[in-house]
Amino acid sequence: MDSVEADGSSIDEAIDSALRLLGATRERVEIEILNNAVRGLFGIGGRKARVRATLRAPIDTDQPMPAAAPAQRERAPEPAPSPALTPMTAEERHAVDRARQVLEDILQHMEVQAEVSVRQTDDHVLFELTGDSSGVLIGRRGQMLDALEYLLNRIASRDEGGTARIVVDSENYRARRREALEELARRMGEQAKKKRRPVTLNPMSPRDRRIVHMILQADTSLVTKSSGKGYFRKLIIIPAGMSKRRPDAAEPE
């Protein structure tokens, strides 16, 4: 079985279901979003998200290697060293350690068995959660991760200025979510251009809306804007010329 289609209440759930059917990891498959989830009125007329997952073709390592030319082989260039990360100050390290302790206390009160690892990157400090309760830690559409991330950043920056931004992740959810949103943005963008009418996406968090904005901002034939109030708002993809003004690609949330 090289390809399957699966449903879910969200794109992420549909992808997870397809991966289980294939018995494969996310890195080994290509995802095609067939339908986005649509909420029905009073529970009637809704539609689940649907995706098609296809196994990537394995790299053929049995092909014969071409005969080497008798010419003198050139020495391969040395790979460029990765730029060194700027060490955190003592104040920043203290703030990060305090945020980690708070996170571990929260997990204990939730009775969730998970390990917290901390890693510094170029522009943030990553708190990676690993354990059997990854679904609980991620939450629907990443809401639990977002809530934990917001809380920890407030704690880390309460007393110290310039503290590195904290990102909370589990089971590589952030990267998987971004990839799914990029595919959704391109698919819905093409649909808006083909039908010459606006396409409205389901309500999203500010982080998710920003990803869609950034993916489509280079396409001058499309305009994106958010609609509604509150934390979760709808995002509308509009063919250029149907809107009087083009909103900022990364509008304030």
**Are residue 166 and residue 179 in the same domain, yes or no?**
no
- How are beta strands 234-239 and 124-131 bridged, if at all? unpaired
Q: Are residues 162 and 110 part of one domain?
A: yes
Q: Give the CATH number, domain containing residue 119.
A: 3.30.300.20
Length of the chain: 253
- Give the per-residue pLDDT at 43: 46
Residues 179 and 166 in one domain: no
Shared domain check, 180 and 155: no
Residue 160 confidence (pLDDT):
54
d(CA 142, CA 138): 5
Does residue 80 fall inside a structural domain? no
pLDDT in tens, the chain (253 residues): 578 888 887 777 888 888 888 888 877 777 777 776 655 444 445 567 787 888 876 544 344 444 444 545 555 555 555 455 667 777 778 888 888 899 999 988 888 888 899 988 877 889 999 876 677 888 888 888 999 999 888 887 775 555 678 899 988 888 999 999 999 999 999 999 999 999 999 898 888 999 999 999 888 899 998 988 887 889 999 998 775 444 443 343 4
In a domain, 84, yes or no: no
Looking at the domain assignment, is residue 250 inside a domain? no
pLDDT at 57: 63
Q: Can you give the pLDDT at residue 133?
A: 67
Q: Which two tokens stand for residue 123?
A: 């522009």
Q: Report how many domains make up the chain.
A: 3
Is 235 among the domain residues?
yes
Query: Do 144 and 189 lie in a common domain?
Result: no
Q: Domain for residue 183, yes or no? A: yes
Residue span of the structural domain in which 47 resides:
3-55
103 in the same domain as 130: yes
183 shares a domain with 162: no
Taking the alpha carbons of 120, 123, 127, 129 in that order, is the dihedral positive or negative?
Answer: negative
- Check whether residue 14 and residue 32 sit in a common domain: yes
Kindly report the CATH number assigned to the domain that includes residue 215: 3.30.1370.50
Does residue 251 lie in a domain region? Answer: no
CA distances (Å), origin 79, targets 74, 75, 86, 217:
15, 12, 21, 34
